[in-house]
Chain A
Amino acid sequence: MLLIPCPYCGARDQTEFGYGGEAHRARPTDSDRMSDAQWAHYVFMRKNTKGVFAERWVHAAGCRKWFNALRNTATDEILAVYRMGEPPPGGFTDGLPTPAGEPAIGSGNDGSTVALGAFDPGAGGDRP
């Protein structure tokens, strides 16, 4: 279970929170001038990022405040939280160690759960 740092209350169990999907999608103010396709894109389409993703959470069983979080969706790490209306803090990238963008460890589907050669003699393993 995730431990989510509410910017107003501090770290709390995931069960206290509700999920709000992709962040930074302002509701259009000129929808009457938008095409059906543009409007449908706003209503129905969301990013499905693997890696660092800006998303909304609400502390539903706490202060009931909405806030934004940067989460690495591959590893479930919450990298930063920030208040509504604030821009996402910079400096977070997934570090793309493989062409598929899989972190070396922790993503759960990072190719293999086995680190090849970790304990081969003389291969940098921690056994003599």
Chain B
Amino acid sequence: MIPGDRPHRLPAGGLIDRDRPVRFTFDGHSLDGLAGDTLASALLANGIHMVGRSFKYHRPRGILGAGSEDPAGLVQIGRDPATTLPNLRATEVELYDGLSAEPQNCWPSLGLDVGVVNDWLSAFLPAGFYYKTFMETAGRWMAVEPLIRRAAGLGVAPTAPDPDRYEHVNRHCDVLVVGGGPAGLIAAKAAAGGGARVILVEETAHLGGRLWSRADGAVTLDGKTGRAWVSALAAELAAMPEVTVLTRACAFGYYARNWLGILEAVQDHLAPGDRDPALPRQRLWRVRAGRVILATGAIERPLVFHGNDRPGILLAGAVRSYLHRYAVAPGTRAVVAANNSDAWQTAFDLHEAGVEIAAIADTRAVPEAALIAYAERLGLPVGFPATIVATAGRSRVRSATIARLDGAGGLAGGDKRVRCDLIAVSGGWSPNVALFSQARGKLGFDPALQAFRPAESWQAERSVGAANGTVDLAASLAEAVTAGAEAARATGFPTPPPAVPAIEHAGPAVPYGIEGAWSLPSRRPPHRTRAFVDLQNDVTAKDLTLAVREGYVSVEHAKRYTTLGMGTDQGKTSGVNGFGVLAAALDTPVERVGVTTYRPPFKPVTFGAVAGQHTGVHFHPRRTTPMHEAHRDAGAVFEVVGDWLRAQAYPHAGEGFATAVQRESRAARTAIGVLDASTLGKIDIRGPDARAFLNRVYSNAWLKLAPGRCRYGLMLNEDGMVFDDGVTACLADDHFHMTTTTGGAASVLAWLEEYLQTEWPDLRVYLTSVTEQWAVASVCGPGSAALMADLLDDLDPDPAGFPFMTHRTGHIDGVPVRVFRVSFTGELSYEINIPARYGLWLWRLLLERGAGYGITAYGTEAMHLLRAEKGFIIVGQDTDGTVTPIDLGMGWAVKQGADFIGKRSLSRSDTARSDRRQLVGLLTRDPRHVLAEGAQMIEGPAETRPRTPMLGHVTSSYFSPTLNRSIALALIAGGHHRMGETVYAARADGTAIPAVITGTDFLAAANARGGTA
């Protein structure tokens, strides 16, 4: 082939721009096409049919269809590791200058493919081969899966981050019309006349649907050619302010309550250099519609005969699309094979375009007389009842062997081999019911169509035109007008329906006639017949009958066993044929076989579009405290806690993270440490019943807490398990300030609201989240009282007069503050709450004025270490939703008498067991060894076979600089009664680490022994 030569381009017609040549490459060859071409039409114009190889047998695969239904003409676009696109249908890729496409699933090259050995071995690769061979022996599948995946691959996924932008659009509309063919167009007009908000989505670049697959003028609507009628209607819709028309937009999912997902390919059709950086690559529209009109057309089925998968075998309707939409003749000498009247038009149109017709083979005993007469007038050879029984040709079909049918399901004699380079096949048209079925509508099998079509709607939708099985154009338009007007009325925008245009056809117009022919007879023995049903997944009729023989009689089971329709095309061309073949094998009507479930997406949707704007920093919004800027300037390492970014540690230049944590925690015990505690959840609780409410939601007692005092409390779920903790201060008799854990703030508020609204609506209590109103700096350490005295204008911090677990209000440089004498660390502490806008100022003031006292900012890691030294729990680290207050050794926080949430559960037989996992301290025998958090604890120094009982696990583990040794907290079965006993931490290398069970307050124990350990 000579690049640049386009021997198959017709001299006139088509939606192409002959003045705008486009250069592209395929499989390394530089080729040219025209603006308006798809990759498929440009390849066919260049005489190239073979574009790839099949999934399993690596057989040559060509272009079968002309749109999204194409099963196997898949290509990879581009080579850039960030932007390469796998598994695109060549029939949908719009050509642009510089486009580079590669065939898929062939190695080393398209022409020479090593995997073709699978084709020669096909007798040994039956349905369910992988299951039968590799799943029986445990482990074998794990070993071979990577090899099989590599051999049976599709395209190559990009490996670098996606540089493109995507966006989500949310819309409500009154009427959504899916499909911009003639029925969809006129339905949109009928719906929109009264002012309803209408969205019309069309999958391709052009409105008009299959009107483009006829010669312009072959059909006239009110005297206008198809092209003129579509242009006029499109202009009318464009002028209506409440109508939105989206092209290159595919409605891929129909979900509950008329909520649909639509993928709009905004710029995919443009060369990368021509794309507008202000626009996204793709948009995901999420549309809630009052009424939906499905005008999604029909999808043609191939015929299932031996050798039906060669490049050069196209759907008859697709051939007409190439002739008229792209002005491409996909061959020079054609055979047309069909079981219906529609394909004859393809023969007539090919003849008109100058393509020689080698034969028309119709499987029906009596095709329409008008068609036979017209064919004879044109001099086209016709055979019926007849079918193709074999084809030849490797990368392009060379010949077809046609045999007479005997009318009883078998073959008569007189086979004839005819030379051809194009076979147009049609097994009839199936209404495109994917969205209808996703919407849970019920299908019915229409014997007149030999296809399933919508029978009963479930959601507020109507199918019109070919999607509803209405093949005749005039009837289809009438149906669409009715549905449009009905949708307008139902959504409150009634309007008189527009007139249905008068239709005139050139040439013979016969009503659609079809006879079912699911699987055609063959001259070959069954095991050597290669009649493909699914061209992408290489499923043959033989595979389906084998599945039935092996007991997979349900259509859903047979699908999964054979992988019928499980490729990226989701069985658009193969599904109904597959159901028909199964019906024949089961000797049952096809409607009793049923159909497999249609699920979203109708066609592949990019992950980029699904993610939309929510990538990178927009993936999850991060909250920062008022002091964040200071932490960042200090070089803090941050961690994510809940939605927050918290400073985890403040390593100095040249200092590692672990060293920083040791330094920070030592400072908090020996001088002054300051922690940004602004992230703690804070809830303002008011009302005459606030106190009674607290008494019900905390496990400990709250009725006697006086104003000015604070109390630590535990919250349990109704199952008795701890789920949050915190300190709540009594501001006044009817006013409390509750704090929660950082991660639990939102769920605690929701939980309190739930109980107030659903269980205790009689309680007069009002909750307000004040987390973001207060910035909090927690100052602790032996020097903290002196610093506080220096800072506070009007409040004496001396612990003698301002005791632990009380709070006061005061001022710092005239700014009002609330100071809580509560402690995270067990040291003398002051928690300063200040209006949030002073948070950064306060933090800088503390570090500046505290410098002389040796103040050190400490992060969450040191805070955890300091808490672990005192045995203070971290909810979510030392607890995991299976731990009661008793298990934690916090029975002192469980009140007697009055009820509280979770109380009754604490006395359930299971909760009261003495061998539950209980929180204890662990001291390793080797004081330098720090146990791994999460390490499993076992009874002895070695694991026993086959299973070593696990006693529990390490929840927190640190090296304590104050104690100069490692410490750990662990949940150990019956641990409270095992003080002093030795248990072992299991490790992957089999060497277990011995550790002694102790109490949890390591600091107090060390002090009692008179110093550090």
Contact = CB atoms under 8 A, between A and B. Distances in A.
B750 interface: yes
Interface stretch (A47-55, A90-98, A108-116): A108-116
Interface string B188-211: 000000000000000000000000
Given A118-B443, A119-B445, A119-B448, 12 more contacts: A1-B257, A3-B288, A13-B288, A29-B899, A39-B905, A43-B905, A113-B443, A113-B594, A114-B445, A117-B591, A118-B442, A118-B444
A3 B849 CA distance: 57
Contact of A39 (B452, B453, B591, B908): B908
B338 to A, nearest CB: 22
A64 B754 CA distance: 9
B853 interface: no
A108 B440 contact: yes
A3 B288 CA distance: 9
Contact of B758 (A18, A29, A66, A106): A66
Given A113-B443, A120-B447, A43 B719 contact: yes
B257 A127 contact: no
B456 A118 contact: yes
B597 A113 contact: yes
A114 B452 contact: yes
Given A64-B753, A108-B440, A127-B446, A115 B455 contact: yes
A1 B586 CA distance: 38
B71 to A, nearest CB: 22
A116 B594 CA distance: 9
A-B pairs, top 6 by smallest CB distance, nearest first, are A118-B444, A31-B904, A118-B455, A119-B446, A3-B257, A115-B455
A28 B7 CA distance: 85
28 contacts: A1-B255, A3-B256, A3-B259, A3-B288, A18-B750, A20-B754, A29-B899, A32-B899, A39-B905, A58-B754, A65-B757, A75-B458, A105-B442, A113-B437, A114-B443, A114-B444, A114-B445, A114-B595, A115-B442, A115-B456, A116-B592, A117-B444, A119-B445, A119-B446, A119-B453, A121-B447, A125-B444, A127-B446
A116 B446 CA distance: 10
Contacts of A39: 904-905, 908
A100 interface: no
Contacts of A118: 442-446, 455-456
A107 to B, nearest CB: 8
A20 B758 CA distance: 11
Contacts of A119: 444-448, 453, 455
A26 interface: yes
A16 interface: no
Chain A CB within 10 A, most for which of B256, B442, B908: B442
B759 interface: yes
A62 to B, nearest CB: 13
B474 to A, nearest CB: 15
Interface residues of A, number: 43
A38 B997 CA distance: 37
A58 B750 contact: yes
Interface string A60-104: 100011100000000110000000110000000000000000000
A43 B718 contact: yes
Given A43-B718, A64-B753, A113 B595 contact: yes
B8 interface: no
Contact of B591 (A84, A116, A121): A116
Interface residues of B, number: 41
A127 B448 contact: yes
Interface in B442-473: 442-448, 452-453, 455-456, 458, 469
A114 B591 contact: yes
Interface of A: 1-3, 13, 18, 20, 26-29, 31-32, 34, 36, 39-40, 43-44, 56, 58, 60, 64-66, 75-76, 84-85, 105-106, 108, 112-121, 125, 127
Nearest to B261: A1
Per DSSP, chain A at the interface is: loop
B909 interface: yes
A105 B905 CA distance: 43
Nearest to A18: B750
A106 B741 CA distance: 44
A100 to B, nearest CB: 17
Nearest to A4: B257
Contacts of B255: 1
Nearest to B746: A60
Nearest to B260: A1
Nearest to A119: B446
A18 B675 CA distance: 35
A26 B757 contact: no
A28 B622 CA distance: 40
A105 B456 CA distance: 8
Given A27-B759, A65-B757, A105 B458 contact: yes
B903 interface: yes
Contacts of B469: 127
A84 B761 contact: yes
Nearest to B912: A36
Given A64-B753, A65-B757, A114 B456 contact: no
Nearest to A40: B908
Nearest to A107: B440
Chain A CB within 10 A, most for which of B443, B595, B761, B909: B443
B604 to A, nearest CB: 21
A2 B256 contact: yes
Chain B CB within 10 A, most for which of A39, A65, A84, A118: A118
Interface in B208-255: 255
B259 A1 contact: yes
A74 B440 CA distance: 12
B440 A106 contact: yes
B556 to A, nearest CB: 10
A39 B901 CA distance: 13
Contacts of A105: 440-442, 456, 458
A53 to B, nearest CB: 16
Contacts of B592: 116
B903 A31 contact: yes
Interface string B79-90: 000000000000
A85 B750 CA distance: 19
A115 B444 contact: yes
Interface in B897-931: 899, 903-905, 908-909
